[in-house]
């Protein structure tokens, strides 16, 4: 029994590492972006696609990844995802052109789309029968996500400063090999289930999301009133509408639309969507402010965000579960989003002649505290609302919400920042004005998230998010 318990926690370590890595791969490139732009010839307005190529593939394929985990077994898809991530990482590091780099980033995203829902399904398999242990497991898993995002900035700085930018991708290779070797010893095998795959549905949702992000990113250059912008947006709407119709009429859909009738599932996913839409633009433009305005090189820029990482880890593991237990998930999510909005609004006051201590540190810590409080209860509520046999689907949906929110949020804030001067390299007042506009826009997104969470989440008191969700998992979905 003791060995079995120990094996479960070792397995959780791999699951948390997986979450850490797939989110780190969205942020580790942040510090390396200026070097990549110089070496590969990216234009300033297209540079965000190093992030978006990964996130669009990740977010667009997550629903398929969750369905594959339900059908063929979470461990099998977990292993397949790591193998694909490994191949994409090698290709991204070796890339010599913009096209190859973006393709490799999309391959990385496809691997992550298999890893993330499989990891959450494995977590629920290992700990779902013990609510108290599930709460601890979700706290560790939850801390791994934003910690991976912020720690990626630091590691990206170290690798870019002392080696070269390809190493922000090569670092995945030994970790992937280690995980692939360890999985058979600690992960439960799981069983395949009967069912079919909706590949056309996966293609429609991925194309729709990709087109929406592309249109918003291209709009500042092509013009918001340009026919190209509106045609691409119309194509995105048509693809996503076709996806919804297909899911509603197909006997064995990629997404059973009735799942959204589960109490709190849609509200919790909306909170995750807006959380990603506010958080990711923050770190993206905070990195650029540190390097292009304050003049930090790659390593100091990464090290400057370590306090955020530490606060997020402590907040998610030690503080958030206690706050949830005392006040319930809904007040914790609302408070967290409100704090994130406050931190972003504070960052909007950055100055061309500012400093890390005055302009970045205090505001970033407030934002990090908000993320730490909002992430776990919204995640736990979203997963716990689904039926046990749809754990992979629920995991795919909540990961999709966060990643699509991240992609669309960054695309929108890229447009806002460019319109306010962020595309005028070397002009410090203009750059600062652009980054400030992005922080302001992200603050409004987080504030909207707090209001919507207050209006849509049902109140729970006296139980952690995961434990509170157990009755729903047992029979209300």
Query: Considering 210, 230, 253, which residue would you say is the last residue of a domain?
Result: 253
Q: Clarify whether residues 22 and 80 are in a common domain.
A: yes
Residue with more model confidence, 322 or 223? 322
Q: Tell me: the pLDDT tens digits for 410-461?
A: 878 888 888 888 878 778 888 899 999 999 999 999 999 999 999 988 875 3
Q: Does residue 193 belong to any structural domain of this protein?
A: no
Mean pLDDT of 81-88: 94
Burial 89-124 (b: 16+ CB within 10 A, else e): bbbbbebeebeebbbbbbbbbbbbbbbbbbbbbbbb
Q: Clarify whether residues 116 and 219 are in a common domain.
A: no
Distance between CA 356 and CA 273 in Å, rounded? 29
pLDDT(195) > 80: no
Quick one: how far is CA 7 from the chain centroid? 28
Q: Clarify whether residues 233 and 308 are in a common domain.
A: no
Q: Does residue 458 belong to any structural domain of this protein?
A: yes
Sign of the Cα torsion 162, 168, 171, 175 reads: positive
Mean pLDDT of 75-100: 89
Which pLDDT does position 385 carry in this prediction?
65
pLDDT(475) > 60: no
Q: Clarify whether residues 224 and 124 are in a common domain.
A: no
Which pLDDT does position 469 carry in this prediction?
41
User: Are residues 408 and 216 in contact, defined by beta-carbon separation less than 8 angstroms?
Assistant: yes
User: Are residues 443 and 344 in contact, defined by beta-carbon separation less than 8 angstroms?
Assistant: yes
Which pLDDT does position 2 carry in this prediction?
44
Which pLDDT does position 335 carry in this prediction?
95
Q: Clarify whether residues 11 and 78 are in a common domain.
A: yes
Q: Clarify whether residues 451 and 334 are in a common domain.
A: yes
Residue with more model confidence, 459 or 17? 17
The confidence band for 307, taking pLDDT boundaries of 50, 70 and 90, is confident
Distance between CA 144 and CA 313 in Å, rounded? 8
Residue with more model confidence, 295 or 449? 449
Q: Clarify whether residues 322 and 431 are in a common domain.
A: yes
Q: Clarify whether residues 352 and 247 are in a common domain.
A: no
Q: Clarify whether residues 235 and 107 are in a common domain.
A: no
Query: How much of the chain, in percent, has pLDDT values that exceed 70?
Result: 86
Q: Does residue 241 belong to any structural domain of this protein?
A: yes
Distance between CA 175 and CA 352 in Å, rounded? 39
* 3-state class percentages of the chain: helix first, strand second, coil last, to nearest 5: 80, 0, 20
Q: Clarify whether residues 397 and 437 are in a common domain.
A: yes
Q: Does residue 191 belong to any structural domain of this protein?
A: no
- Number of structural domains in the chain: 2
Sign of the Cα torsion 292, 298, 300, 301 reads: positive
pLDDT(221) > 80: no
pLDDT(143) > 70: yes
Helix, strand or coil, per DSSP, at residue 149 = helix
pLDDT(474) > 60: no
Q: Write down the mean pLDDT value for the chain.
A: 80
Q: Does residue 441 belong to any structural domain of this protein?
A: yes
Query: Considering 253, 279, 297, which residue would you say is the last residue of a domain?
Result: 253
Q: Does residue 265 belong to any structural domain of this protein?
A: yes
Residues with Cβ within 8 Å of 379's Cβ and at least 6 positions away in sequence, in order, are: 138, 142, 268, 272, 398, 465
Q: Does residue 437 belong to any structural domain of this protein?
A: yes
Which pLDDT does position 134 carry in this prediction?
74
The confidence band for 83, taking pLDDT boundaries of 50, 70 and 90, is very high
Mean pLDDT of 218-227: 74
Distance between CA 83 and CA 81 in Å, rounded? 5
pLDDT(255) > 80: no
Output the pTM of the full model. Answer: 0.77
Which pLDDT does position 59 carry in this prediction?
72
Which pLDDT does position 379 carry in this prediction?
81
Longest dimension (CA), the chain: 65
Instruction: Give the domain range for residue 96.
Output: 2-186+254-475
Query: Considering 226, 253, 280, which residue would you say is the last residue of a domain?
Result: 253
Query: Which of 42-46, 51-55, 91-95 reaches the highest mean pLDDT?
Result: 91-95
The confidence band for 308, taking pLDDT boundaries of 50, 70 and 90, is confident
Distance between CA 281 and CA 160 in Å, rounded? 21
Q: Tell me: the pLDDT tens digits for 90-125?
A: 998 888 887 888 899 989 988 988 888 888 778 877
Q: Clarify whether residues 414 and 327 are in a common domain.
A: yes
Q: Does residue 192 belong to any structural domain of this protein?
A: no
Which pLDDT does position 465 carry in this prediction?
40
Which pLDDT does position 377 carry in this prediction?
86
Which pLDDT does position 370 carry in this prediction?
94
Question: Which tokens is 237 given?
Answer: 């709407």
Residue with more model confidence, 216 or 172? 172
Distance between CA 349 and CA 440 in Å, rounded? 9
Which pLDDT does position 444 carry in this prediction?
96
Which pLDDT does position 452 carry in this prediction?
94
The confidence band for 4, taking pLDDT boundaries of 50, 70 and 90, is low
Q: Clarify whether residues 28 and 177 are in a common domain.
A: yes
Q: Of the given ranges (42-51, 205-214, 290-299, 444-453), which has the lowest mean pLDDT?
A: 42-51
CATH for 65: 1.20.1250.20
Mean pLDDT of 395-400: 75
pLDDT(314) > 50: yes
Which pLDDT does position 349 carry in this prediction?
94
pLDDT(282) > 80: yes
Residue with more model confidence, 234 or 21? 234
């Amino acid at each position: 029994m003791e060995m079995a318990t120990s094996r479960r926690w070792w397995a959780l370590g791999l699951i948390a590492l997986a979450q850490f890595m797939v989110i780190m791969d969205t942020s580790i490139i942040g510090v390396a972006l200026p070097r990549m732009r110089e070496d590969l010839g990216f234009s300033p307005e297209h540079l965000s696609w190093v992030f978006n190529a990964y996130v669009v593939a990740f977010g667009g394929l997550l629903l398929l990844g969750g369905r594959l985990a339900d059908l063929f077994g979470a461990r099998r898809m977990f292993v397949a995802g790591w193998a694909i991530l490994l191949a994409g990482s090698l290709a991204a590091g070796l890339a010599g052109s913009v096209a190859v780099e973006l393709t490799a980033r999309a391959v990385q995203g496809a691997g992550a789309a298999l890893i993330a829902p499989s990891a959450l399904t494995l977590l629920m398999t290992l700990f779902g029968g013990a609510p108290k242990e599930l709460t601890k497991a979700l706290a560790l898993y939850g801390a791994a996500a934003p910690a991976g995002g912020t720690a990626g900035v630091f590691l990206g700085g170290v690798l870019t400063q002392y080696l070269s930018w390809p190493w922000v991708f090569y670092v995945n290779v030994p970790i992937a090999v280690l995980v692939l070797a360890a999985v058979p010893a600690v992960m439960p095998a799981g069983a395949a289930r009967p069912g079919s795959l909706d590949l056309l549905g996966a293609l429609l949702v991925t194309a729709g999301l990709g087109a929406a992000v592309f249109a918003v990113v291209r709009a500042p250059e092509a013009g918001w009133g340009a026919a190209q912008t509106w045609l691409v947006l119309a194509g995105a709407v048509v693809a996503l509408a076709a996806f919804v119709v297909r899911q509603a009429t197909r006997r064995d859909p990629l997404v059973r639309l009735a799942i959204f009738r589960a109490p709190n599932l849609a509200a919790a996913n909306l909170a995750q969507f807006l959380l990603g839409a506010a958080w990711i633009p923050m770190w993206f433009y905070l990195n650029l402010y540190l390097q292009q305005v304050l003049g930090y090189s790659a390593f100091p820029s990464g090290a400057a965000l370590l306090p955020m990482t530490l606060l997020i880890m402590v907040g998610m593991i030690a503080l958030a579960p206690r706050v949830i237990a005392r006040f319930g998930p809904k007040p914790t999510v609302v408070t967290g989003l409100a704090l994130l909005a406050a931190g972003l609004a504070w960052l909007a006051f950055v100055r061309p002649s500012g400093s890390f201590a005055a302009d970045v540190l205090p505001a970033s810590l407030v934002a990090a505290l908000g993320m730490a409080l909002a992430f776990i209860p919204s995640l736990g509520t979203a997963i716990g609302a689904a039926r046990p046999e749809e754990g992979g689907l629920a995991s795919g949906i909540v990961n999709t919400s966060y990643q699509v929110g991240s992609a669309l949020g960054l695309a929108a804030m890229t447009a806002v920042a460019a319109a306010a001067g962020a595309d005028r390299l070397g002009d410090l007042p203009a750059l600062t004005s652009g980054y400030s506009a992005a922080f302001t826009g992200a603050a409004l997104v987080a504030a909207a998230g707090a209001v919507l969470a207050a209006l849509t989440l049902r109140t729970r008191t006296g139980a952690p998010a995961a434990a509170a969700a157990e009755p729903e998992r047992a029979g209300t979905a």
